[in-house]
């Protein structure tokens, strides 16, 4: 039995996950918590948000995020790639900045428009 806190939404349910019983989750207020609890013990994933350098924009930094969750262990490598990247304005929200980062099938996308 593992006790974890669901981070999917701000409610923050206290979950109990039973590894011996197909990762059955209790304490969740919704189904997302059941999926999260199982995932967190088998292969924890996170969304990464950061900024990259942008030339000719209204600010020197453009906020970005991973388009989907990525394995927790890859966060550092993904940050290294993000920090090596630079784009030029204009950019629209949702534009792909780095496609398929580290072969995860997940893109780095812009989270705001900037001109």
Partner 1 sequence: MYDLIVVGGGPAGLAAALSAYENGCEKILIVERDLELGGILNQCIHNGFGLHYFKEELTGPEYAERFIDQLKNTSIEVMLDTIVLEITEDKQVHTMSKENGYQLLQSKAIVLAMGCRERTRGAIQMPGSRPAGILTAGAAQRYVNIEGYMVGKKVVILGSGDIGLIMARRMVLEGAEVLACIELMPYSGGLTRNIVQCLDDFNIPLYLSHTITDVTGKDRLESITMAKVDDKRKPIPGTEQVIDCDTLLLSVGLIPENELSRNVGIQMDQQTRGAMVYENMETSISGIFACGNVLHVHDLVDYVSAESSLAGKAAAEYVQQQNNIAEKDFLTINNGQGISYILPQKIRKENVDKKVDLYYRVNQVYDTCIVSIQHQGEELAKFKRKNLAPGEMETIPLRKKLLDKVDIKELDIVVREA
Q: Residue 30 binds which entry of ligand SF4, partner 1, none, with Cβ cut-offs from 5 to 8 Å by kind?
A: ligand SF4
Among 20, 21, 31, 60, binds partner 1 (CB under 8 A): 60
Q: Answer yes or no whether residue 81 interacts with partner 1 by CB under 8 A.
A: no
Q: Do residues 54 and 82 make contact, with C-beta atoms less than 8 angstroms apart?
A: no
Q: Cα–Cα distance between 8 and 53 in angstroms, integer?
A: 29
Question: Cα separation of 91 and 81, whole Å?
Answer: 19
- Map residues 9-38 to x or -, x wherever contact with partner 1 holds by CB under 8 A: xx-x-x------------------------
Strands 96-98 and 61-66: unpaired
Range in contact with ligand SF4 (rule: CB under 6 A) among 28-36, 55-63, 72-80, 92-100: 28-36
């Amino acid at each position: 039995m593992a006790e974890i806190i669901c981070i999917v939404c701000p409610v923050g349910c206290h979950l109990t996950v039973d590894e011996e019983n197909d990762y059955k989750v209790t304490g969740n207020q919704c189904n997302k918590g059941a999926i999260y609890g199982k995932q967190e013990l088998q292969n924890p994933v996170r969304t990464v948000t950061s900024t990259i350098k942008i030339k000719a924009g209204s600010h020197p930094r453009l906020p970005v995020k991973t388009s989907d969750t990525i394995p927790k262990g890859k966060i550092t490598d993904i940050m290294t790639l993000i920090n090596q990247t630079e784009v030029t304005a204009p950019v629209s929200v949702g534009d792909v900045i780095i496609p398929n980062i580290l072969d995860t099938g997940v893109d780095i996308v812009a989270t705001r428009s900037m001109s």
